[in-house]
């Protein structure tokens, strides 16, 4: 039966069972489309990375003698819409069956379901064979629970897949979670390992994107593109991380500094989310490195990284499929303030935000604490509309696909889901920034000051947020101490903090 198989831009898995056998009756199709470049404003490096990865994957299939139809963004037959392209191919080339792997984004899942309902030929769906869990497994595990405790799910995953367990089935080292050991600040004169990058000429892709008038954000060196976009490169980056970075990853995974953009992070999220490499490969390689170097690599580093892949990544996908599409509309605090203009330029007097946003615009990358406790923390304290926060995060980061972005942003970062993901809002004053980073030195604002023209905005905005949302938060057992501290303050101090915060929030564009 003459069959057309669709491969989406984040389904570049050469290990998929589709490719175990060649069949002349099967044709694979991949499309670069304005449908995908335009649903939010993406970073130029994100679009380039996906297009380059898709082209490399297509070439690999063609070299291995698979039948492939590939539409570049400027292809004469490209209608810039997924279902229009599919319909045209099916009709023009008389395909008798249509097959696709289940998308990881709800909007694409619905688009393809609707398309198949209107087809007059049979269709069939396949699992992507990428995740440890199925779409429905997570929801079934938490059936009847109002809150999805990540730690409980993570321990279940460890036990189910026998990862980091001793011979008795107990956690290696005696603890399930070593997060408390992974919160060190980078020492003042410490120089991290130089990050592994590539130097690629992507000028032709950049020119095509510009010629097609695709709106983008961020910058790119089109003659020196640094990101991995093939399976081989993804594996090279994995090996670099485990050999050169893992030993220090645990200690400094939450640290921030304006001097170094990569530190000891793996930066594997793009090749993982594009499915160029499998999470099982990542975990197995990490464990093998630990077993070979247990004298140098602490279990806290290994467990912390495994938790990101086996726990957090699978957990966020589970939340996504358990709650979409309603999840995309949740706004627990009813925040409505627009995102400040400087989120698109990095031109703010706050050094922490200046650097975190500037780095994001330059590299299409920031690590999890920069996202959660700098940009996310500020957006939550300022009362920014989560719709705008979602669009910014989804567009600016090279690894941002909605299933992982929206649950981290609207859930973990903005608490817009009211506690489905996080047990409390992740907000902090300037003390946290000073403790975990080198941002506060030489900043326009003083992290010690609470009021006045030089007071760090995080301080007054923190207390304003707590006061404003007391009815919704004071019964949260993880926040009780905050309100006891607030209640001990005298009335003038409270009023001064709130007045300072309101002054900043009313003029966010000039911070």
Q: Which of 26-35, 143-152, 375-384 has the lowest mean pLDDT?
A: 143-152
Statement to judge: residues 465 and 422 lie in one domain? yes
User: pTM for this structure?
Assistant: 0.95
| CB neighbour list of residue 273: distance below 8 Å, 6 or more residues apart | 10, 399, 401, 404
- Give the model confidence (pLDDT) of 91-135 as tens digits: 999 999 999 999 999 999 999 999 999 999 999 999 999 999 999
Which pLDDT band, with edges at 50, 70 and 90, does 183 fall under? confident
Q: Which of 126, 156, 173 is the last residue of a domain?
A: 126
Give the residues across from 395 on adjacent strands: none
The answer to the question of residue 271 being in a domain is yes
| CB neighbour list of residue 189: distance below 8 Å, 6 or more residues apart | none
Statement to judge: residues 303 and 357 lie in one domain? no
pLDDT given for residue 384 in this prediction: 98
The answer to the question of residue 331 being in a domain is no
Burial of residue 209 (CB within 10 Å: 0-12, 13-18, 19+) is buried
Q: Which of 323, 356, 387 is the last residue of a domain?
A: 323
Q: Would the pLDDT of 146 be above 80?
A: no
* Cα–chain center distance at 491: 41
pLDDT given for residue 78 in this prediction: 97
Q: Which of 288-297, 329-338, 372-381 has the lowest mean pLDDT?
A: 288-297
pLDDT given for residue 292 in this prediction: 93
Q: Would the pLDDT of 209 be above 90?
A: yes
Which pLDDT band, with edges at 50, 70 and 90, does 378 fall under? very high
Mean pLDDT of the chain: 95
Statement to judge: residues 142 and 109 lie in one domain? no
The answer to the question of residue 85 being in a domain is yes
Which pLDDT band, with edges at 50, 70 and 90, does 182 fall under? confident
Q: Give the number of other CB atoms < 10 A from CB of residue 336.
A: 12
Statement to judge: residues 259 and 352 lie in one domain? no
Q: What percent of the chain has pLDDT over 70?
A: 100
Statement to judge: residues 358 and 448 lie in one domain? yes
Q: What percent of the chain has pLDDT over 90?
A: 92
pLDDT given for residue 180 in this prediction: 83
pLDDT given for residue 204 in this prediction: 97
Statement to judge: residues 420 and 496 lie in one domain? yes
The answer to the question of residue 444 being in a domain is yes
Span 387-391, average pLDDT: 97
Q: Give the number of other CB atoms < 10 A from CB of residue 484.
A: 10
- Give the model confidence (pLDDT) of 315-333 as tens digits: 999 999 999 999 999 999 9
Q: Which of 126, 147, 175 is the last residue of a domain?
A: 126
The answer to the question of residue 21 being in a domain is yes
Q: Which of 64-68, 147-151, 345-349, 444-448 has the lowest mean pLDDT?
A: 147-151
| CB neighbour list of residue 163: distance below 8 Å, 6 or more residues apart | 157, 283, 287, 306, 310
Statement to judge: residues 398 and 298 lie in one domain? no
Statement to judge: residues 176 and 302 lie in one domain? yes
Statement to judge: residues 148 and 212 lie in one domain? yes
Q: Would the pLDDT of 376 be above 80?
A: yes
The answer to the question of residue 131 being in a domain is no
- Give the model confidence (pLDDT) of 48-78 as tens digits: 999 999 999 999 999 999 999 999 999 999 9
In whole angstroms, what is the distance from residue 4 CA to residue 500 CA? 61
Statement to judge: residues 395 and 452 lie in one domain? yes
CA distances from 476 to 78, 470, 479 (A): 52, 10, 6
The CATH number that applies at residue 249 is: 1.25.40.80
Q: Which residue segment(s) compose the domain that 377 sits in?
A: 341-510
pLDDT given for residue 294 in this prediction: 85
The answer to the question of residue 333 being in a domain is no
Domain total of the chain:
3
The CATH number that applies at residue 502 is: 1.10.579.10
pLDDT given for residue 284 in this prediction: 97
pLDDT given for residue 458 in this prediction: 97
Q: Do the bridges between strand 3-6 and strand 123-126 make them parallel or antiparallel, or are there none, so unpaired?
A: unpaired
Burial readout 455-481 (b: 16 or more C-beta within 10 A, e: otherwise): bbbbbbbbbbbbeebeeebeeeeebee
The CATH number that applies at residue 49 is: 3.40.50.620
Q: Contact 350/445 with Cβ under 8 angstroms?
A: yes
Statement to judge: residues 345 and 266 lie in one domain? no
pLDDT given for residue 147 in this prediction: 78
The answer to the question of residue 328 being in a domain is no
Span 386-399, average pLDDT: 97
Statement to judge: residues 14 and 88 lie in one domain? yes
Q: Would the pLDDT of 181 be above 90?
A: no
pLDDT given for residue 86 in this prediction: 98
Which pLDDT band, with edges at 50, 70 and 90, does 502 fall under? very high
| CB neighbour list of residue 174: distance below 8 Å, 6 or more residues apart | none
């Amino acid at each position: 039966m003459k069959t057309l198989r669709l491969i989406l831009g984040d389904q570049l898995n050469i290990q998929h069972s589709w490719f175990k056998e060649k069949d002349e009756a099967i044709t694979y199709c991949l499309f670069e489309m304005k449908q995908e470049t335009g649903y939010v404003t993406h970073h130029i490096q994100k679009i380039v990375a996906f297009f380059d990865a898709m082209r490399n994957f297509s070439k690999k299939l063609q070299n291995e003698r698979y039948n492939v139809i590939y539409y570049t963004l400027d292809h004469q037959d490209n209608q810039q819409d997924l279902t229009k392209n599919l319909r045209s191919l099916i009709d023009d080339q008389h395909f008798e069956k249509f097959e696709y792997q289940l998308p990881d984004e709800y909007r694409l899942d619905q688009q393809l379901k609707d398309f198949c309902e209107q087809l007059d030929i049979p269709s069939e769906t396949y699992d992507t064979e990428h995740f440890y869990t199925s779409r429905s497994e997570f929801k079934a595990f938490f059936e009847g629970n109002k809150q999805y405790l990540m730690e409980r799910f993570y321990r279940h995953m460890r036990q189910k897949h026998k990862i980091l367990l001793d011979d008795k089935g107990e956690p290696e080292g005696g603890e399930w979670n070593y997060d408390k050991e992974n919160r060190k600040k980078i020492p003042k004169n410490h120089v991290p390992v130089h990050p592994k990058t590539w130097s690629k000429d992507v000028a032709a892709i950049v020119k095509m994107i510009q010629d097609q008038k695709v709106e983008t954000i961020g910058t790119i060196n089109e003659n020196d593109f640094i990101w991995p976009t093939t399976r081989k490169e993804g594996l090279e980056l994995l090996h670099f991380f485990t050999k050169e970075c893992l030993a220090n990853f645990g200690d400094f995974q939450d640290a921030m500094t304006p001097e170094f953009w990569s530190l000891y992070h793996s930066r594997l999220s793009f090749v993982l989310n594009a499915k160029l490499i499998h999470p099982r490969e990542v975990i197995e390689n990490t464990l093998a490195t630990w077993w070979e170097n247990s004298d140098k690599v602490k279990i806290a580093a290994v467990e912390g990284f495994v938790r990101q892949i086996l726990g957090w990544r699978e957990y966020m996908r589970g939340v996504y499929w358990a709650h979409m599409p309603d999840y995309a509309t949740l706004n627990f605090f009813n925040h409505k303030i627009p995102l400040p203009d400087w989120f698109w330029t990095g031109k703010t007097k706050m050094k922490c935000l200046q650097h975190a946003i500037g780095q994001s615009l330059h590299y299409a990358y920031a690590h999890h604490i920069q996202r959660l406790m700098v940009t996310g923390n500020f957006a939550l304290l300022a009362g920014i509309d989560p719709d705008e926060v979602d669009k910014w995060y989804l567009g600016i980061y090279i690894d941002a696909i909605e299933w992982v972005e929206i649950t981290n942003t609207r859930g973990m970062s903005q608490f817009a889901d009211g506690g489905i993901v996080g047990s409390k809002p992740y907000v902090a004053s300037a003390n946290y920034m000073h403790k975990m980073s080198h941002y506060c030195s030489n900043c326009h604002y003083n992290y010690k000051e609470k009021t006045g023209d030089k007071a760090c905005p995080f301080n007054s905005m923190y207390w304003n947020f707590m006061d404003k949302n007391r009815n919704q938060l004071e019964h949260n057992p993880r926040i009780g101490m905050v309100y006891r501290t607030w209640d001990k303050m005298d009335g003038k101090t409270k009023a001064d903090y709130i007045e300072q915060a309101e002054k900043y929030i009313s003029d966010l564009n000039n911070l």
